[in-house]
Structure 1
Amino acid sequence: MQRRPLLQALALSPLASAFSTSAQRRQQGRPSAGYGPLRPVADEATGLPLLMLPAGFRYRSFGWAGEALANGGTVPGAADGMGIVKQQGEVFTLVRNHEIFGTAGGFGPAGSHYDVGCDGGTVTLRYDRAAGQLLEQRGSLSGTLVNCAGGTTPWGSWLSCEEIVTPAGHSGQMRGKPFKLEKPHGFVFEVPADGVSNARALAALGQFKHEAALVDADGTVYLTEDAQPAGFYRLLPARKGDLAAGGRLQMLRARKASDLRTGLKARQQLDVDWVDIEHPADGVGDNGHNGVLNQGRARGGSLFTRLEGLHAGRDEIFFTSTDGGDAKAGQVWRFIPSQQQLELFAESPGASVFDYPDNLCLHPRNDLIVICEDSKQPVQRLYGLRRDGGHDGLAGLFELVRNNVQLAGGEVEKLPALKGDFRGAEWAGTCFSADGKTLFANVYRPGFTVAISGPF
């Protein structure tokens, strides 16, 4: 995309001003953990003030929904989970999920289609950071449904997760039109850094409402489930680095707490073990979608609610619960593999503090957690959370970025149809470059990626 001047000045609305005042109130009485107040900053690609950032930060947008793909079709919307799967000098290869439930025929090459008529999948982006230029965008997996989040692997690929469970032959009506699915859904698919996916469902990783996936250094795969209730899972692979070879799927069991959705205190720690899932590919079960969860519950597996993002630090794995906690405003969990211990790292006391945490990532220094917001708030934010959060885990919480996307139509070169107020669109797909200088993130609607740089 080419930079062009603004067609008109886009001032903040009273709603956004009120939101800013609310954000200031949230931080009163807390130590200064952030980078200072936020202000509108112009995108270096379009010239539009798409984001609000602290002083010293800049960004460039790329990979907009509606642009052409190099191997056929156009870039879908609903830009969700994303990860860096390859870096060559200043050129980053990212794979981005598109969380679409539709049966219009998909995108990209036919060889990457799982269930031919389905529209979800992934787009692979090659971005030159030094030049600030998108080099290529191509379809790399299609024929899937509701590709929400996922995770990268140590061998340089992306695990794309379907957040839906349907049996083979499922049919119904969508937007007044009939549809029929040929294959079952609710699986994880691997996407290579180069080329396209073989569109093979990794059955050992289970059939459930997948959210995120993470491959730890020892080869164990951790998985979150976005359901109410939900489980936290791991796969012990039969062969490290080869997920198609299968393995043993298990669900976490806290030894003294069967229900982790409410009633806990921040920094409370629990010893855990794991229970086996005998039939990981039987996600439909008796009630249509909870087959895997019910198997784990029958053996004492512990219940969470709406588990989302997943990211590893040093002998620790962070994950979020969107509506967990007594206030149902969200929880941040920390699992320590070497100790088999689970900690409620932080819990929101209400939507005015932080609300509905989703995807998350850690800065390479391991001192900053970036959390995506997907809430009913009128404007969505990226939160920063410092490791030293005090007794409630929240002393280090601050606003890092605010969504400010307001398009009057015609501002985005080659995409004149994009129009609307998208400030309420969720953040997703956050990931840091290895040097910690760039934070990549997605604005879910209308659907694009930003590369944010600054003094992290």
Structure 2
Amino acid sequence: MTDPALSHARRRLLQGSAALAASPLAAAFALAATPKAVGQRTLGASGYGQLFPVKDETTGLPLLMLPEGFSYRSFAWAGERLAGTGEPMPGAADGMGIVKVDGEVFTLVRNHEIFGQDGSFGPAASHYDAPCGGGTVTLRYDRRAGKLLEARGSLSGTLVNCAGGTTPWNSWLSCEETVSPAGHGGFRRGRTFRLERAHGFVFEVPAEGVSDARPITDMGQFIHEAAVVDASDGTVYLTEDNRPAGFYRFLPRQRGQLGAGGRLQALRVKTHPDLRTGLKPGQRFDVDWVDIERPDQGWEAAADGSNAGGTLGVLRQGRAQGASLFTRLEGVFVRPDEIFFTSTDGGDAKAGQVFRFVPSQQRLELFYESPGARVLDYPDNICLSPTGSIVICEDSGAPVQRLYGLTRQGELFELARNNTELAGEMGFIGSFKGAEWAGACFSPDGKTLFANVYRPGYTVAITGPFA
């Protein structure tokens, strides 16, 4: 998600630049625009080469910078009309995944990280808490024709739907990145509001139709970021975007039936109760898991009964049994026998970490750590290419946001750059180059990379000579 403390992030970027200027890494940055420092190693990752402004084949605008030979089409812009209801499509386009493929037609579910209580959208059957404006939109995109076939609301009445993940049974898990009790009230945008239901849960959205808007309470009430299902055994791995945070797994009672309940657990490294700093890339840890006895009790009421309670109820339950601390865990992605996830401000430079977990060995590895904001700052959503390389969405306070590639050899390279400037086109005015990337996901054949530009909110389908 977008960190509200942007001014803080920009200060960190400047501080990181100053630190690097006095370090041996400075020479590497003077030689090339593509970052080449990874962890404590210097690598020669050039990726696909230099980036150039490329015109969008839909609008004709140079919205992105890409390597030579790559092209893209934008679709599903905020403000366009939703099928069925005619409502405007919401903005704040965040996490996204492909839930169905029918030849050249891809069905994607896209999160909308709406903070305000401005009212639900889409069919009423898919509303959880009617005053709330977060949720998901389901998109059907025809790659051969290069156009959007349909956009429809599929879940709403939720809050701050940040990321999530796909399931092997053709659905999307949409995660609320907030924790609030039922009856919580306040004042926002000149309006008073009152939540009718508790928030901080995961919801399932099918590829066809709409969500039943039932929270999966056994998956925990906490500041969720992402969730992904390991197809080998049905385990769901979940990240928490909080300071501090935990890394969790959910063991369902019935495989493929998440709503039937199950057991939530938090990761523990007995030798390292705090994994936020002081680690080295390549360092490995044996792990075990501790049970969360009351997963639906994430809100801690204030002693005076006010709304100023805490959001760490689930983490505190884990910590009481020795669960390890992370900071601001973000994207998570699965491939056979390995789970990758990011910590957006972890590491000694507070610029980001990428962890790798191997279920068969119950082993955690620090796969990558950014040495400073000039290299990579605030890694957020991630996905894996069919060849195993990692695509990282940047969400920092820098004036321009980038998509990065990270090879299995630990080489980091720039894949795309946000170049969005609008002068009334698509109904928006201003520079959006600083808007985060989100929702990256590859088509199964590896030929198309879908991704979102968070603000004003649109999706791109990038094609080219992906290796």
Map of 1:3 onto structure 2: none
How far apart are residue 33 of structure 1 and its match?
3.8
Residues in 2 aligned to 1:245 and 1:196: alpha-carbon distance in whole angstroms: 19
Which residue among 434, 457, 463 is the counterpart of 1:447?
A: 457
1:324-348 deviation per Cα after TM superposition (whole angstroms, max 9, x unaligned): 0000000000000000000000001
Map of 2:297 onto structure 1: 282
Map of 2:394 onto structure 1: 373
The answer to whether the aligner puts 1:388 opposite 2:409 as a matched pair is yes
The answer to whether the aligner puts 1:27 opposite 2:36 as a matched pair is yes
Residues in 2 aligned to 1:156 and 1:38: alpha-carbon distance in whole angstroms: 35
Give secondary structure in 2 for the equivalent of 1:449: strand
Q: Give, as a single letter, the amino acid of the residue that structure 1 aligns with 2:441.
A: C
The answer to whether the aligner puts 1:247 opposite 2:252 as a matched pair is no
Map of 1:94 onto structure 2: 108
Q: 1:39 to 1:25 in 2, by over 3 A?
A: closer
Contact residue 324 and residue 331 of structure 1 kept, 8 A: yes
Map of 1:12 onto structure 2: none
How far apart are residue 130 of structure 1 and its match?
0.5
Matches within 5 A, 1:66-145: 66-72=79-85, 73-145=87-159
Contact residue 33 and residue 386 of structure 1 kept, 8 A: no
**Structure 2 spans left out of the alignment, 5+ residues:** 1-28, 302-308
Give secondary structure in 1 for the equivalent of 2:287: strand
Q: Give, as a single letter, the amino acid of the residue that structure 1 aligns with 2:36.
A: Q
For the aligned residues, what is the CA RMSD? Answer: 1.3
1:265-288 deviation per Cα after TM superposition (whole angstroms, max 9, x unaligned): 111000000000000000102542
Which residue among 157, 161, 164 is the counterpart of 2:171?
A: 157
Map of 1:182 onto structure 2: 196
Map of 1:428 onto structure 2: 438
Residues in 2 aligned to 1:76 and 1:176: alpha-carbon distance in whole angstroms: 20
How far apart are residue 23 of structure 1 and its match?
6.6
Residues in 2 aligned to 1:197 and 1:258: alpha-carbon distance in whole angstroms: 38
Map of 2:50 onto structure 1: 37
Q: 1:23 to 1:302 in 2, by over 3 A?
A: farther
The answer to whether the aligner puts 1:437 opposite 2:437 as a matched pair is no
Matches within 5 A, 1:294-443: 294-366=316-388, 368-389=389-410, 396-409=411-424, 411-412=425-426, 417-443=427-453
Residues in 1 aligned to 2:55 and 2:46: alpha-carbon distance in whole angstroms: 25
Residues in 2 aligned to 1:172 and 1:31: alpha-carbon distance in whole angstroms: 52
Residues in 2 aligned to 1:91 and 1:436: alpha-carbon distance in whole angstroms: 15
Map of 2:17 onto structure 1: none
Q: How many residues in Structure 1 have an aligned counterpart in Structure 2?
A: 425
Q: 1:75 to 1:348 in 2, by over 3 A?
A: same
**Structure 1 spans left out of the alignment, 5+ residues:** 1-19, 390-395
Map of 2:63 onto structure 1: 50
Residues in 1 aligned to 2:456 and 2:31: alpha-carbon distance in whole angstroms: 26
Map of 2:9 onto structure 1: none
Contact residue 285 and residue 292 of structure 1 kept, 8 A: no
Give secondary structure in 2 for the equivalent of 1:251: strand
Give secondary structure in 1 for the equivalent of 2:35: helix
Give secondary structure in 2 for the equivalent of 1:296: helix
**What TM-score, normalized to structure 2?**
0.89
Residues in 2 aligned to 1:388 and 1:66: alpha-carbon distance in whole angstroms: 42
Contact residue 34 and residue 414 of structure 2 kept, 8 A: no
How far apart are residue 408 of structure 1 and its match?
1.2
Residues in 1 aligned to 2:116 and 2:45: alpha-carbon distance in whole angstroms: 45
Q: 1:22 to 1:370 in 2, by over 3 A?
A: farther
Q: Give, as a single letter, the amino acid of the residue that structure 1 aligns with 2:355.
A: W
Percent of matched pairs sharing the same residue: 71
Give secondary structure in 2 for the equivalent of 1:283: coil
Contact residue 34 and residue 46 of structure 2 kept, 8 A: no
Residues in 2 aligned to 1:373 and 1:355: alpha-carbon distance in whole angstroms: 7
Residues in 2 aligned to 1:314 and 1:420: alpha-carbon distance in whole angstroms: 43
Which residue among 204, 225, 229 is the counterpart of 2:218?
A: 204
Q: Give, as a single letter, the amino acid of the residue that structure 1 aligns with 2:118.
A: A
1:152-206 deviation per Cα after TM superposition (whole angstroms, max 9, x unaligned): 0000000000000000000011123211100000000000001000000000100
Runs of 4+ that moved beyond 3 A: 20-23, 25-30
Q: Give, as a single letter, the amino acid of the residue that structure 2 aligns with 1:435.
A: D
**What TM-score, normalized to structure 1?**
0.92
Residues in 1 aligned to 2:34 and 2:359: alpha-carbon distance in whole angstroms: 37
Contact residue 378 and residue 396 of structure 2 kept, 8 A: yes
Residues in 1 aligned to 2:273 and 2:263: alpha-carbon distance in whole angstroms: 22
How far apart are residue 25 of structure 1 and its match?
6.6
